[in-house]
Amino acid sequence: MNTQTPFKEMRTAKEKLVVIGNGMAGCRAVEEILTRDPDRYEITIFGAEPRVNYNRIMLSPVLAGEKTFDEIVINGQDWYEENNIALSGGSPVDHIDRDAKTVVTRSGQVAPYDKLVIATGSDPFIIPIPGNDLEGVVTFRDLDDVENMVAAAEKGGDAIVIGGGLLGLEAAHGLSLRGMKVTVIHLMPTLMERQLDEAAGWLLRQELESRGQTILTGANTKEIQGKEGRVAGIELEDGTRVKADIVVMAVGIRPSTGLAKQAGIDCERGIMVDDHMVTSDPAIMAVGECVQHRGLCYGLVAPLWEMCRALADHATDAPTGYPGSVTSTKLKVSGINLFSAGDFSGGEGCEDIVMRDATRGVYKRLVLKDDRLIGAVLYGDTADGNWYFDLLRKEEDLSHIREGLIFGQAFASGGALADPSFAVAALSDDAEICGCNGVSKSTVVTCIEKGAHSLDAVRSQCKASASCGSCTDLVESLLSLTLGGEVESGPQTMCSCTSFTHDDVRRLILEKQLKEIPEVMQELHWTTPDGCSACRPALNYYLMCAWPGEYVDDQKSRFVNERLHANIQKDGTYSVVPRFFGGITNPRELRAIADAVEKYDARMVKVTGGQRLDIFGIRKEDLPAVWADLNAAGLVSGHAYGKALRTVKTCVGSEWCRFGTQDSTGLGVKLEHATWGSWMPHKFKMAVSGCPRNCAESTIKDFGVICVDSGYELHVGGNGGIKVRVTDLLCKVETEEEAMEHCLAFIQLYREDAHYLDRTAPWLERKGLDWIKAQLFDDPQSISRLAQRFRYSQQFSQDDPWAQRAAGDRKDLHSHLAEVRPLAMEKA
């Protein structure tokens, strides 16, 4: 993502909407606006993090190793492109000029607005004690914090979490699962005292201690102690000392109001807004954790969704208003069922109903006032949490079911022996099913009635159960009720259009000899006539891989970047990346690039991390002519946009470097000639380093070669992106020819087995290195057969005319191969 190019005003009559904040609230507000009036605004989003929008409440499962970052992305890059949203990631806004109606970033970008949305969220509170700035003291607010904690956990040792609230306990759980010895320091006598009463807090503490955590309550931190600039432990007010290799501050958050205050917008604890989320400046709205509404600030996700709906109504001239929220809490710690909502402090006029079942570890407490539920705490059995929350929000008179209320919805309503789905069936249409995404019962039912007949389809279409998963049972009950049958949980389906998984589809394409996208959809009973943006590209790839030479690539089923052989940029122009085989170029190619830059008025040329030149600012209508000029000089596409081979990075190796052991550049060029233009499940990067100093960074590539005195070490499954993964050693070989053959075999195995949009890293982790080695090495002929299938498919690799092959095409390079078509997708 290029975040340094100057902001370029699009030529349009649309109103300009600028959003400061690329987090959950800012992007949800944009989603709501697009749902109501998709053509009204030209939208620009500025985000402080260099990432797309992700689900911050799911950072706890990422820390615990239960999810990856890719699994918590809410809106990927395609969403921004499809909705013509200009995203400037890693570009914090420095100030707002209300008179000029512009925002200015730290890097100097200036963006005008007609309407502005401030969604800056909150900042973690750092306890003002000595040592709080030591290396190893972290907070728990974003992905960078999670990565810091994961890195610390990989070294092992002791962790201290200061704060026994919701976030602190989730951090402690994640670090504990990753092998650290965890101590939780909490100032108050009861864990999660804002959500739990003393009895439930005690049960929670007992459970956490049984898992190996040390819980110190009523403990006030006096000082964080360090050694040589790094955290070494803490000292409490009572003199107790606890050692630590990392200290996590999770003691609370504060609304991020700095930008608003600097601009002269009214703020108290948060940015003050009215019921339409409008600030003291009529052109500026605010939403999320940064706002204060009717004297309250909210730190949970459900109120954010309600605010976003009210904001979108106002922004599209259909104002409704936001009355405030009643909130509930669930703890995202595996195996602990905990629910809390409303006010359980009690007091004059309040009545407690309590149930304890020590054997089952169940505790329930309901607080009533004037025969209305005002608070609920459930531990151990939270099945009725949504029902209690619905009663609490609606303030219903419960005197008629008072005697059975504590035993749950089915008993209180006379249905103790009724259908197991009674509880969800009796919920009102506007009852909240998914608190993470603000989805009601009626929304889920409508989604099912319109064709979402699986859990995955519901998740895809309305997002219910797509986040923390705690409402999965409710969604499955609604599926069962609506469809009249039980819903089976199983592997994730390919998309909402089908009940088949990726593996099912790949297998059935071969078994049933399916050779066209419509044929697959007909035979496998697709629920939509033409598929969707998720399944069509996948089917197109699976058919190309299964039937090389027979199936014709369907350009309509490709993403826009692949169709245009260029990467769309945030200002609507494109970048073009010619291929430099092995990172080598020559005067003719450089002259052609320079001529194209001048002729087509490109705004920037940048050296990429893959040893190529990226030409920015090409207009869409000029792309065919640009490629024609570059092709004339022998330059072909670098596929920087494609689910294909991207680059083969090399160092100079033994030809020039005094440390080089082999000709790494020559091998890199041969590998790139052999593999370029090959479509893959995802982008694929390679590197060849001439010695163990690894200057080409081979150990973070999908396939990497390290040259050594005795031959070549072959590494697989690396990733240098947001989540860095170091490669696994596949094997060692003695000759360049063996290295080539093993590379082609590994690529073909990946192409034939991985799910579409799987990088090699998650594919390897899912299948296991031992499985991959078995496929390659158990049969002495496997390497040869896989490599031959790859070479055969390369004969039919089709490129758009804009990116045609250079002279000396692939078929000539591999003319030595016997042209005997192997069985499609033959397994070793």
Q: Has 308 been labeled as part of a binding site? A: no
For strands 711-716 and 728-733, give the pairing. antiparallel
The conformation of residue 302, written as its DSSP 8-state character, comes to: H
CA dist 283 and 399 (Å) reads 48
| Residues 6+ positions from 429 with CB-CB distance below 8 Å | 440, 441, 442, 445
Q: Which two tokens stand for residue 393?
A: 């929000």
Q: Please, which residues bridge with residue 537 across strands?
A: none
Helix (H, G, I), strand (E, B) or coil at 50: coil
Helix (H) or strand (E) holding 778: none
Between the alpha carbon of residue 447 and those of residues 73, 108, 452, 453, 802, the distances in Å are: 22, 44, 6, 9, 42
Between the alpha carbon of residue 592 and those of residues 517, 585, 598, the distances in Å are: 39, 11, 10
User: How many residues in the chain?
Assistant: 828
Between the alpha carbon of residue 301 and those of residues 55, 316, 491, the distances in Å are: 10, 23, 28
| Residues 6+ positions from 39 with CB-CB distance below 8 Å | 14
CA–chain centroid gap for 264, Å, is 35
| Residues 6+ positions from 769 with CB-CB distance below 8 Å | 717, 728, 730
**Which of 593, 710, 607 lies closest to 649 in space, CA to CA?**
607
Q: Has 691 been labeled as part of a binding site? A: yes
CA dist 191 and 249 (Å) reads 15
**Which of 454, 429, 371 lies closest to 405 in space, CA to CA?**
371
**Which of 719, 662, 726 lies closest to 689 in space, CA to CA?**
662
Helix (H, G, I), strand (E, B) or coil at 100: coil
Q: Has 657 been labeled as part of a binding site? A: yes
Q: Which two tokens stand for residue 117?
A: 């949305």
Q: Has 447 been labeled as part of a binding site? A: no
The contacts found for 208-213 with CB under 8 angstroms, 24 or more apart, are: 208/169, 208/172, 208/184, 211/176, 212/176, 212/181, 212/182, 213/172, 213/176, 213/182, 213/183, 213/184
CA dist 758 and 745 (Å) reads 18
Number of CB atoms found within 10 A of residue 231's CB: 23
Between the alpha carbon of residue 717 and those of residues 166, 468, 693, 701, 729, the distances in Å are: 35, 28, 19, 7, 9
CA dist 703 and 716 (Å) reads 5
Helix (H) or strand (E) holding 39: none
Residue ranges at the known binding site for [4Fe-4S] cluster: 651, 657, 691, 695
Annotated binding residues, as ranges? 651, 657, 691, 695
Q: Could you tell me which residues are annotated as the binding site for siroheme? A: 695
